[in-house]
């Protein structure tokens, strides 16, 4: 274990981009096996080699820069996915809909009948069935 620790000293290790590449590689491996595509298998080898290269790289600054660029695009997607997940999780307690004026996503507690809703973004007032 100490030998491995010494080997990893000064090396970059894993980050969000490496994990994303691993997940993408695993999904492509699964698809490649399902449709029996050698080309996809070849791409997954390249992806897994890139993961190993990034993890063992001693150019920490360059790897950190790559991860920053990745996070710039991934964070909005991640936030959108989390929002959709929370909507699905709480859809038994809340009804979700969009403001007819500004398309802002709104929610009201379920089972309260027809209620008057005021959009917090644009101030539009309308009747909504909960
Ligand atoms: Zn609105």
Residues 83 and 124 in one domain: no
Cα 61–Cα 16–Cα 63 angle in degrees, nearest 5: 15
CA of 35 to the centre of ligand 1 (A): 46
Q: Tell me the C-alpha distance between 125 and 98, whole Å.
A: 12
Residues 56 and 102 in one domain: no
Q: How far is the CA of 106 from the centre of ligand 1 (A)?
A: 9
Ligand 1 center to residue 129 CA distance, Å?
17
* Ligand 1 centroid distance, CA of 77 (Å): 23
My answer on whether 130 and 85 are in the same domain is: no
φ/ψ region of 79 (left if φ > 0, alpha if ψ in -120 to 50, else beta) reads alpha
**Are 77 and 123 within one domain?**
no
Express as a percent the part of the chain with pLDDT over 70. Answer: 99
Is 65 in the same domain as 105?
A: no
Domain boundary among 74, 89, 104: 89
Say if residue 63 is in the same domain as residue 82. Answer: yes
* Distance from residue 118's CA to the centre of ligand 1 (Å): 8
Mean pLDDT over 33-47 rounds to 93
- pLDDT 10s digits, 58-101: 999 999 999 999 999 999 999 999 999 999 999 999 999 999 99
Structure confidence at residue 5 (pLDDT): 87
| Spatial separation of the C-alpha atoms in residues 122 and 82, rounded to whole Å | 24
Q: Is the pLDDT score of 1 beyond 80?
A: no
Band the pLDDT of 112: cuts 50, 70, 90: very high
In the block, tokens 């929370």 appear at 86
- Total number of domains constituting the chain: 2
Q: Is residue 72 located within the same domain as residue 97? A: no
Residue 11: predicted pLDDT: 93
What residue numbers bound the domain in which 123 lies?
93-130
């Amino acid at each position: 274990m100490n030998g491995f620790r010494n080997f990893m000293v000064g090396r970059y290790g894993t980050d969000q981009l490496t994990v994303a590449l691993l997940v993408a590689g695993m999904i492509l491996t699964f698809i490649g096996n399902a449709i029996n595509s050698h080309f996809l298998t070849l791409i997954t080898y390249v992806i897994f080699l890139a993961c190993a290269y990034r993890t063992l790289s001693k150019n920490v600054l360059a790897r950190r820069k790559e991860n920053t660029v990745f996070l710039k695009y991934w964070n909005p997607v991640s936030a959108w996915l989390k929002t959709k997940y929370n909507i699905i999780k709480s859809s038994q307690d809340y009804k979700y809909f969009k403001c007819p004026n500004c398309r802002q996503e709104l929610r009201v507690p379920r089972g309260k009948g027809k209620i008057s809703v005021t959009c917090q973004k644009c101030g539009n007032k309308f009747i909504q069935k909960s």
